[in-house]
Chains A and B, each alone.
Chain A
Amino acid sequence: MKYELVSGLETHVELSTNTKIFCGCTTDFGGEQNTHCCPICIGLPGTLPKLNEKVVDYAIMAGLATNCEISHISKMDRKNYCYPDLPKAYQISQFDMPLCKNGYIALSNGRKIGITRIHIEEDAGKLVHQRGNTYVDYNRGGVPLIEIVSEPDIRSIDEAREYVEKLQMIMRYIGVSDCKMQEGSLRCDVNISLRPIGSVEFGTRTEIKNMNSFTYMTKAMEYEVSRQAELLDEGKEVTQETLRYIVEENRTESMRGKEDANDYRYFREPDLVTIEVSQEKIDRFKAMLPELPDAKFTRYVNELGIPEADAGLLVKYRRVAEYFEKAMEGTANPKVAANCIIGQIFRRVENETEKEAFDIALPAEYLRDLILLLDGGKIKMNLLKSTLEKMLDQGKPATDFIKEEDMGGIDTDTLRQLCTDAIAANPNAVADYLGGKEKALKSLLGFVMKNSRGRADAVEAEKLLIEMVSASK
């Protein structure tokens, strides 16, 4: 293509505080309609907002984790517009003095996507269309949000996707949001414009509202990029407008043009006082910040010798990384713990939600103790693997499955005897192997492993079997 994509994202992230931003109502998702409400969040006349300190704290953490400056002084403003899901007819947000500004997120290709600002605001309710009527559910009204506005630094759809994935990962790491796109706790507005490659000036942009899945975001961007490219190819102009993406038809549709843009009549929210954040608080939060995925990734690769692909899988979810770090603590080779998690445990937590929760019955310490047995030469890798399966089934320590006498492996003579037994007991397999079916060796090996109660070294046993079977020819 002869055009370059220029894109910036506005990402709304729902904060996982227990209570709403301006009242004591729960922020739990779902619930019977209009039951997570009170006079304040349904905006009854005379009620006043009371800022939840936790929201400020979470937003500061989000800002610090994305390399932002934190404002010592900020304030809340009213964004006025009329819609039934907004019971006060204004949203309390931040206009010209956001809590965080001038940050960035680094992508894997080395580019940095600038973050213009992060501000706090309240979510609106939800319209529910049923039986030809429209109803309003205010449960979500007043749930705290942060809006993360990026610079127009994104140059490809892949970058856009990675940017959102990184944001999601970071927000989950610092525990400020579960960032579930399907539940709407992370949603994006995507700004898109094209310009001829090599050009410095920006083209006219359009904005696609409310992308709530990675798949749709990618598709919508692809569609919009080709739509704009076609227009430009034909020498036509792109109209500045706000679009919605129609999933069923895979196309974008105009919601409103530039002239119909809302005039939000922002002004300072008089019911709330100035938000002051001390340097001491910022320093304290900085110190509290966990090691973030990028730093972990680098450390795993450089210091622990974990291959990049595996390190990427381990750092994606904080609980997985924490599990890994506990399990590898004091063990000789961190790769063993990594392989156990990626090779065996991940098979039991297949989807992303489960990986994020990483709620497995086996404590990381048990896995570590198992690996220490391997390190101490008391068990072989194959026994470690089979024991780990049992441990995962029952959540019990290795010592429940491996008897003392099984530890320490077996000597060469015993192994030789076991191989002899195996050959004697499986004449068919021997014949098959000699007839060219290499796989037949597996059943011989299985016999040896089983009769050694897992103590035999599989590699050694295989070598010996090949030697003995070939000799018997």
Chain B
Amino acid sequence: METNFSKIKAAGRLLSSKQMSCEELTKRYLAAIEKENKTLNAYVRVTEEQALAAAKKADEKIMRGEVLLPLEGIPMSLKDNISTKNIETTCCSKILQGYTPIYNATVWELLQNQNAVLLGKTNMDEFAMGSSSETSCFGGSMNPHHTGHVAGGSSGGAASCVSGNLAVFGLGSDTGGSIRQPASFCGVVGLKPTYGAVSRYGLIAYASSFDQIGPITACVEDAALVFDAIARQDPLDSTSQGKKESASASLTKELKGMKIGIVKEYFEGIDKDVAAAMEKAMETYRHLGAELVECSIPELKYGLPVYYILACAEASSNLGRYDGIRYGYKVPHYEDINEMICKTRSEGFGAEVKHRILLGTYVLSAGYYDAYYKKAQNLRGVIVNAFQRVFDACDVILAPTVPMTAFERGQTQKDAVKTYQTDICTVPVNIAGLPAVSVPCGFDGKGLPIGLQLIGNHFQEAVILNAAYQFEGATRENGAFRSVEMGVAL
């Protein structure tokens, strides 16, 4: 089955057929951002000058009659933790205020090589720590489907701008669900690639052994196109391996005979509307010829503690460098260097970040290391093996992305632990380094989107994206998706 939902291709057609110049297209997006960003707070920095310069370059190429590269001239966004040379990059933290990188992240280098048009940097939870983007020093990002609800997090701005048609696509990062959860909340597609598929060079680290950059897009095909563009083995990232095969070229395979694992633990305690949407999704897959296999991963109950112990431990180390000496925020008044560092960190970091630094420092401390860090590290191995057991019998695993729909704004700050629990369906994938995609599969009673998560074995992006693509083709025009009436229509 072939679908025609690609916004990247639609925009590309507009440009190459000269129906619209890239400058005109870019200006429309910039105007839409000007209008809607006040409400959505998706962008924390708009890069008009760079965008128009890239657009001009694309237009010149079109005028010369040259063929455009797949992402050339396409207006897009980058999460504010992806380093952009000469463009301030803050992780939405006060402590990085005024920090302008002197080098480009590898993903941005790759997209720049294609002459993609960067509209701006998107909002996120401070240092990607959070589930609503409300820990951002710029305030939370709102959900285009219902602006009283959050866009999710931590890549809330990326999901919000794609859902609100303020960018054709965006790059986010996913440490414990930060691409998939906001994609689910905002009714768009979010792909968390296999750990190592996309270079992390230039991604400001939260938890290095979990972090992975991936696309947030309007449809599955676009996710595949962007993934193909950014998945490269990078000599600057020792943990990177690149992709196994082209994802966009593998999208039209039938699902007949595909074995989809239904891991019962993923369905425990999920909201009623989400459960109903999952039932419907399973039904769709049966119709598409897939075979549903019931299975169990009891070890999933360790997912949250393992994730929060290990991710915070790494974060406590990764965030040690922000001391006000070399870049970013520095308190104006201090007696000596210790006070300077102390005050800078106290004022520069928000509450959630401090919370996780403290937790991470604690679990690594002498006397506690064995009880927490070491145990969690061992359990990480247990979870990895448990997934492999399921993948011995199944091709993909189907699960909800989040057990609920988008929170009301302000709700998450009230109970940190309760908020952590909403990551229950997304973190296991990061623990095991697996690829997973969230694809829209319906709405709750309030009209808030629900996401379906498809998890694959390592480097099986092509398999999960094809499964998502077939599902999208069968359901998108049957209630799984609603476009939001704002921004630029393509």
A-side residues, CB < 8 A to B, are 39, 42-51, 78, 80, 82, 84, 87-90, 134, 136, 263, 265-267, 270-273
Chain B hits for A43, CB < 8 A: 321
A46 touches B83 (CB 8 A): yes
B238 touches A39 (CB 8 A): no
Contact stretch, chosen from B94-102, B450-458, B465-473: B94-102
8 A-B pairs with the lowest CB-CB distances in the bound complex, closest first: A89-B320, A270-B209, A265-B364, A270-B208, A45-B204, A46-B202, A46-B83, A46-B204
The yes or no answer to B11 lying at the interface (CB within 8 A) is: no
A267 touches B200 (CB 8 A): no
The contact of B103 among A44, A87, A89, A136, by CB within 8 Å, is A44
Interface flags for B313-331 (1: CB within 8 Å of A; 0: not) read 1101100110101110000
Residue of chain B at shortest CB distance from A263: B366
* B308 CB to nearest A CB, Å: 15
* B26 CB to nearest A CB, Å: 26
B101 touches A50 (CB 8 A): no
Chain B hits for A263, CB < 8 A: 365-366
20 A-B Cβ contacts within 8 A?
Answer: A39-B103, A45-B321, A46-B83, A46-B105, A46-B203, A46-B204, A46-B205, A49-B238, A78-B317, A87-B321, A88-B320, A88-B321, A263-B365, A263-B366, A265-B317, A265-B365, A267-B373, A270-B207, A270-B208, A270-B314
The contact of B364 among A50, A51, A80, by CB within 8 Å, is A80
Chain A hits for B341, CB < 8 A: 82
Chain A hits for B89, CB < 8 A: 45-46
Beyond A45-B96, A265-B317, whether A50 also contacts B235 by CB under 8 A is yes
Chain A hits for B323, CB < 8 A: 82, 84, 89
Q: How far is the CA of A136 from the CA of B325 in the complex (A)?
A: 9
B201 touches A89 (CB 8 A): no
Q: How far is the CA of A46 from the CA of B323 in the complex (A)?
A: 16
Chain A hits for B326, CB < 8 A: 42, 87
B364 touches A267 (CB 8 A): yes
* A401 CB to nearest B CB, Å: 57
Q: Dominant SS at the B interface?
A: loop
Q: How far is the CA of A277 from the CA of B361 in the complex (A)?
A: 33
Q: How far is the CA of A44 from the CA of B236 in the complex (A)?
A: 14
Q: How far is the CA of A43 from the CA of B201 in the complex (A)?
A: 12
A51 touches B238 (CB 8 A): yes
* A164 CB to nearest B CB, Å: 31
Q: Dominant SS at the A interface?
A: loop
Chain B hits for A44, CB < 8 A: 83, 101-103, 327
Beyond A45-B99, A45-B204, A80-B364, whether A267 also contacts B317 by CB under 8 A is yes
Q: How far is the CA of A49 from the CA of B235 in the complex (A)?
A: 10
The yes or no answer to B339 lying at the interface (CB within 8 A) is: no
Q: How far is the CA of A42 from the CA of B200 in the complex (A)?
A: 18
A45 touches B337 (CB 8 A): no
Chain A hits for B237, CB < 8 A: 48, 271
Q: How far is the CA of A90 from the CA of B316 in the complex (A)?
A: 11
The yes or no answer to B239 lying at the interface (CB within 8 A) is: yes
The contact of B236 among A42, A50, A82, A89, by CB within 8 Å, is A50
Chain B hits for A270, CB < 8 A: 207-209, 239, 314
Interface flags for B108-129 (1: CB within 8 Å of A; 0: not) read 0000000000000000000000
Q: How far is the CA of A136 from the CA of B96 in the complex (A)?
A: 20
The listed residue with most B CB atoms (<10 A of its CB), out of A43, A51, A82, is A82
The contact of B317 among A50, A87, A89, A272, by CB within 8 Å, is A89
* B138 CB to nearest A CB, Å: 18
Q: How far is the CA of A265 from the CA of B89 in the complex (A)?
A: 29
16 new A-B contacts, CB < 8 A, other than A89-B321, A271-B238, A271-B239, are A39-B103, A42-B326, A43-B321, A44-B101, A44-B103, A46-B81, A46-B201, A78-B317, A84-B337, A90-B317, A263-B365, A263-B366, A267-B317, A270-B207, A270-B209, A271-B237
Q: How far is the CA of A44 from the CA of B203 in the complex (A)?
A: 11
Chain B hits for A134, CB < 8 A: 337
Interface flags for B207-241 (1: CB within 8 Å of A; 0: not) read 11100000000000000000000000001111100
B317 touches A80 (CB 8 A): yes
Chain B hits for A49, CB < 8 A: 238
Chain A hits for B369, CB < 8 A: 265
Residue of chain B at shortest CB distance from A76: B238
B320 touches A84 (CB 8 A): no
B236 touches A48 (CB 8 A): yes
Q: How far is the CA of A289 from the CA of B364 in the complex (A)?
A: 41
Chain A hits for B207, CB < 8 A: 270
Q: How far is the CA of A271 from the CA of B199 in the complex (A)?
A: 11
* B70 CB to nearest A CB, Å: 26
Q: How far is the CA of A267 from the CA of B394 in the complex (A)?
A: 34
Chain A hits for B99, CB < 8 A: 45
Q: How far is the CA of A273 from the CA of B240 in the complex (A)?
A: 10
Q: How far is the CA of A138 from the CA of B91 in the complex (A)?
A: 25
The contact of A48 among B201, B321, B361, B365, by CB within 8 Å, is B201
Interface flags for B236-253 (1: CB within 8 Å of A; 0: not) read 111100000000000000
* B413 CB to nearest A CB, Å: 26
Chain A hits for B325, CB < 8 A: 84, 136
The contact of B101 among A46, A265, A273, by CB within 8 Å, is A46
Q: How far is the CA of A120 from the CA of B102 in the complex (A)?
A: 29
* A271 CB to nearest B CB, Å: 5
Chain B hits for A48, CB < 8 A: 200-201, 236-238
Q: How far is the CA of A84 from the CA of B201 in the complex (A)?
A: 24
* A37 CB to nearest B CB, Å: 11
The listed residue with most B CB atoms (<10 A of its CB), out of A82, A89, A265, A272, is A265
Chain A hits for B327, CB < 8 A: 44
* B319 CB to nearest A CB, Å: 8
B96 touches A265 (CB 8 A): no
Chain B hits for A88, CB < 8 A: 320-321
Q: How far is the CA of A418 from the CA of B29 in the complex (A)?
A: 108
Chain A hits for B239, CB < 8 A: 270-273
B208 touches A80 (CB 8 A): no
* A137 CB to nearest B CB, Å: 13
Chain A hits for B321, CB < 8 A: 43, 45, 87-89
- Find residues 291-348 in chain B having any chain A CB closer than 8 Å to their own CB: 313-314, 316-317, 320-321, 323, 325-327, 337, 341
Chain A hits for B235, CB < 8 A: 50
A267 touches B337 (CB 8 A): no
* B165 CB to nearest A CB, Å: 29
Chain B hits for A89, CB < 8 A: 317, 320-321, 323
Chain B hits for A272, CB < 8 A: 238-239
Q: How far is the CA of A171 from the CA of B365 in the complex (A)?
A: 36
A80 touches B320 (CB 8 A): yes
Chain A hits for B101, CB < 8 A: 39, 44-46
Q: How far is the CA of A263 from the CA of B316 in the complex (A)?
A: 14
Chain B hits for A47, CB < 8 A: 103, 201-202
Chain B hits for A39, CB < 8 A: 101-103
Chain A hits for B81, CB < 8 A: 46
Chain A hits for B366, CB < 8 A: 263, 265
Residue of chain B at shortest CB distance from A80: B317
Chain A hits for B364, CB < 8 A: 80, 265-267
Q: How far is the CA of A271 from the CA of B327 in the complex (A)?
A: 22
Q: How far is the CA of A134 from the CA of B340 in the complex (A)?
A: 13
Q: How far is the CA of A51 from the CA of B366 in the complex (A)?
A: 28
Chain B hits for A136, CB < 8 A: 325
Chain A hits for B91, CB < 8 A: 45
Residue of chain A at shortest CB distance from B367: A263
Q: How far is the CA of A345 from the CA of B154 in the complex (A)?
A: 72
The listed residue with most A CB atoms (<10 A of its CB), out of B105, B207, B325, B364, is B364
Chain B hits for A78, CB < 8 A: 317
Residue of chain B at shortest CB distance from A51: B238
Residue of chain B at shortest CB distance from A271: B208
Residue of chain B at shortest CB distance from A90: B317
* B204 CB to nearest A CB, Å: 4
* A320 CB to nearest B CB, Å: 41
